[in-house]
């Protein structure tokens, strides 16, 4: 028997026999649904046999036969009613289990998010790609999908999405491009570290989305529910369908606040803050400025995360303020890092360690935040050091800056575009999808082994634009991405360690060493971060002006 659990109250399986029923009862199931019509196969027991065995085992049985490939809306409604009426958990079966999984998916479409349904069935081994539109449409067969068609569809209106739209439009002004994003506001997220350090005002990091969409690009203000790459289609919430010739996927990643027990309930109060949210970064500065002493924790979850240096940037700017104001002797700073190193590129570590010593910070490696009790001001960490049994420790705090766990968005993880870990599966050099030739991806959501930073997206946008334009012209990829990413580590107010690196940790400095030595803290790098990069972001990157971001060409050899 091959029983595949979909949810707590339902499992699906291929054809069962009367002899299997006692084992099903022993596994805790209290009811059976048959979704296979009698006589479909020569070796198939009929429902009466299964029903008789079920009664003998004390189980209820229900017959909801469905012809393979012809699941009707009424079938899904009957299945949903049976789930409500029957004692659970329920085992449903057909020839392979797919019809039963499909019926469950459609019956739950009004109650559960599409991504949840697709994830549950995918985990159980059932592909619901054929009924995605019906799931998004609340379990009903769409009658009017409102199809629209574009040369290029860009998913995501963050730094990567707007930049690549602008770069592509600059190369091919005649292209009919649509950008899909439901947000009203676009944020300059690299600025939030500076907000948390009292350097930037929060409103300088936000602009309306409408003011930034490149001229001539259609903005469709809607969320994506699912992808149908075999049909060159994107399904939106509400079951509208947008078709494309080429697709560029860059919706960013998901900050999974709920993964830490108790965190959501205490954010913004009880001394718990995060620079990873626009509305909380000012609270960081409020806490730092008013701190008179005690234990200050700064957390970093497992990789990958966006801007891997941001958790310790908050530590350094806080420590610098307490150093300058004379509070530092009364502060115990601890860096709770789920990883095993201070920074992933060793060339920058000596300079950072100097500041760890300056601020008397304690480094706690392999400590991953799993729970927070805000009112009690206690944080629990899972400690998983190499070659030792994992343990948990609870630490009291007076202030805590949290970097949340991060994953690909739900609608990406359950899509055909994702790899086994849930990220969009691309060739790391051309950023083209490994399976679908007319799909590209950039920014935080794709699986190339580079740092997830805005600086990386700034370099990736011209590469994707160049390669999409070449593909339109019938050519092979003409540009390569070298893995460039940049992390301006704000080690003190007025100085930055400018980490710039590519694949494999190779150093990729943008400036001569006499101007900015990225391995050392410099005033010049601070001026770059504070005064130059924001206007470069707003006025160049998002407008398709590729200052210091020309793509590397494919070698002629």
pLDDT digits (tens, 9 = 90+) for 210-263: 999 999 999 999 889 889 999 899 998 877 889 999 999 999 999 999 999 999
| pLDDT band of 556, cuts 50, 70, 90 | very low
Say yes or no to pLDDT of 480 above 50: yes
- What backbone torsions phi and psi does residue 141 show, to the nearest 5 degrees? -70, 120
What is the per-residue pLDDT across 495-538, written as a single tens digit (0 to 9) for each? 999 999 999 999 999 888 888 888 999 999 999 999 999 999 99
Percent of the chain with pLDDT over 70: 98
Using the 8-state DSSP alphabet, how is residue 433 labeled? B
| pLDDT band of 296, cuts 50, 70, 90 | very high
Residue given tokens 């075999």 in the structure block: 230
Closest among 152, 108, 162, 161 to 131, alpha carbons compared: 108
Q: Is 504 exposed, middle or buried (0-12, 13-18, 19+ CB in 10 A)?
A: exposed
What is the per-residue pLDDT across 249-283, written as a single tens digit (0 to 9) for each? 999 999 999 999 999 999 999 999 999 999 999 99
Quote the pLDDT of residue 549.
62
Quote the pLDDT of residue 557.
40
Alpha carbon distance 212, 471 (integer Å)? 26
Quote the pLDDT of residue 308.
84
Q: Length of the chain in residues, anyone?
A: 557
> How far, CA to CA in Å, does 84 sit from each of 55, 107, 111, 134, 444?
19, 11, 13, 21, 41
CB contact burial 45-77 (16+ within 10 A = b; e otherwise): bebeebbebbeebebbbbbbebeeeebeeebbe
Quote the pLDDT of residue 363.
96
Predicted TM-score (pTM) of the model is 0.85
Average pLDDT score over residue span 169-194? 95
Q: Is 487 a catalytic residue?
A: yes
Alpha carbon distance 128, 540 (integer Å)? 42
| pLDDT band of 72, cuts 50, 70, 90 | confident
What mean pLDDT is reported for the chain? 93
Quote the pLDDT of residue 71.
87
First-to-last CA distance in the chain?
A: 55
Average pLDDT score over residue span 16-37? 94
82 SS3 class = helix
Average pLDDT score over residue span 353-375? 96
Say yes or no to pLDDT of 53 above 70: yes
CA neighbours within 13 Å on the CB side: how many for 448? Answer: 31
Average pLDDT score over residue span 387-412? 94
Average pLDDT score over residue span 299-308? 91
Say yes or no to pLDDT of 291 above 60: yes
Quote the pLDDT of residue 39.
85
- Annotated catalytic residue, options 239, 250, 307, 403: 307
Average pLDDT score over residue span 164-188? 95
Say yes or no to pLDDT of 144 above 70: no
- Is 519:502 a contact under the CB 8 Å cutoff? no
Out of 174-178, 308-312, 363-367, 489-493, pick the least confident. 308-312
Q: Is 307 a catalytic residue?
A: yes
Alpha carbon distance 36, 496 (integer Å)? 66
Out of 351-355, 454-458, 539-543, 551-555, pick the least confident. 551-555
Average pLDDT score over residue span 12-23? 94
What is the per-residue pLDDT across 73-112, written as a single tens digit (0 to 9) for each? 899 999 999 999 999 899 999 989 999 999 999 999 999 9
Average pLDDT score over residue span 471-483? 94
Quote the pLDDT of residue 86.
94
Average pLDDT score over residue span 117-142? 89
> How far, CA to CA in Å, does 26 sit from each of 29, 168, 445?
7, 60, 43
CB contact burial 247-261 (16+ within 10 A = b; e otherwise): bbbbbbbbbebebbe
H or E stretch covering 227: strand 224-228
């Amino acid at each position: 028997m091959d029983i595949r659990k979909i949810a707590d109250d339902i499992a699906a399986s291929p054809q069962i026999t009367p002899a299997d029923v006692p084992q099903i009862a022993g596994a805790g199931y209290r009811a059976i649904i048959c979704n296979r019509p009698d006589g479909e196969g020569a070796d198939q027991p009929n429902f009466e046999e299964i029903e008789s065995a079920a009664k003998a085992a004390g189980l209820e049985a229900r017959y909801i036969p469905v012809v393979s490939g012809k699941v009707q809306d009424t079938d899904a409604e009957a299945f949903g009613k049976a789930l409500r009426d029957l004692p659970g958990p329920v085992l449903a079966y057909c020839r392979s289990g797919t019809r039963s999984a499909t019926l469950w998916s459609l019956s739950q479409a009004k109650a559960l998010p599409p991504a949840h349904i697709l994830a549950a069935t995918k985990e159980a081994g059932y592909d619901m790609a054929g009924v995605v539109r019906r799931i998004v449409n609340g379990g009903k067969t769409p009658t009017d999908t409102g199809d629209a068609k574009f040369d290029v569809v860009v998913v995501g209106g963050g730094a990567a999405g707007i930049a690549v739209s602008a770069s592509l439009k600059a190369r091919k002004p005649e292209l009919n491009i649509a950008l899909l994003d439901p947000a009203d506001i676009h944020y300059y997220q690299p600025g939030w570290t500076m907000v948390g350090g009292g350097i930037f005002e929060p409103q300088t990091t936000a602009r309306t989305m409408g003011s930034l969409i490149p001229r001539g690009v259609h903005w469709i203000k809607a969320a994506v529910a699912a992808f149908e790459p075999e049909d060159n289609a994107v399904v939106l919430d509400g079951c509208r369908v947008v078709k494309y010739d080429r697709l560029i996927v860059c919706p960013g990643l998901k900050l999974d606040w709920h993964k830490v027990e108790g965190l959501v309930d205490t954010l913004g109060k009880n001394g718990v803050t995060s620079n990873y949210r626009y509305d909380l970064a000012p609270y960081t500065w409020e806490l730092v400025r008013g701190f008179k002493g005690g234990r200050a924790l700064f957390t970093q979850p497992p990789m990958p995360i966006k801007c891997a240096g941001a958790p310790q940037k908050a530590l350094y700017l806080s420590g610098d303020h307490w150093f300058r104001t004379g509070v530092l002797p009364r502060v115990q700073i601890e860096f709770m890092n789920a990883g095993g190193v201070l920074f992933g590129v060793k060339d920058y570590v000596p300079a950072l360690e100097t500041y760890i010593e300056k601020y008397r910070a304690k480094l706690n490696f392999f400590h991953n935040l799993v729970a927070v009790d805000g009112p009690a001001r206690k944080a629990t960490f899972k400690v998983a050091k190499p070659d030792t049994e994992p343990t948990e420790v609870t630490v009291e705090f007076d202030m805590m800056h949290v970097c949340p766990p991060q994953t690909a968005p739900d609608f990406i993880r359950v899509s055909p575009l994702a790899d086994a870990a849930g990220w969009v599966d691309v060739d790391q050099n051309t950023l083209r999808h490994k399976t679908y030739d007319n799909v590209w991806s950039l920014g935080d959501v794709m699986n190339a082994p580079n740092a997830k930073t805005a600086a990386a997206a700034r370099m990736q946008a011209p590469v994707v634009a160049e390669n999409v334009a070449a593909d339109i012209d019938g050519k092979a990829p003409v540009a390569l991405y070298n893995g460039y990413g940049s992390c301006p580590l704000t080690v003190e107010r007025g100085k930055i360690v400018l980490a710039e690196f590519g694949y494999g940790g190779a150093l990729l400095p943008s400036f001569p060493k006499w101007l900015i030595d990225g391995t050392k803290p410099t005033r010049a790098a601070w001026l770059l971060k504070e005064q130059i990069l924001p206007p470069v972001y707003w006025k160049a990157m998002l407008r398709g002006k590729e200052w210091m971001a020309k793509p590397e060409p494919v070698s002629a050899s």
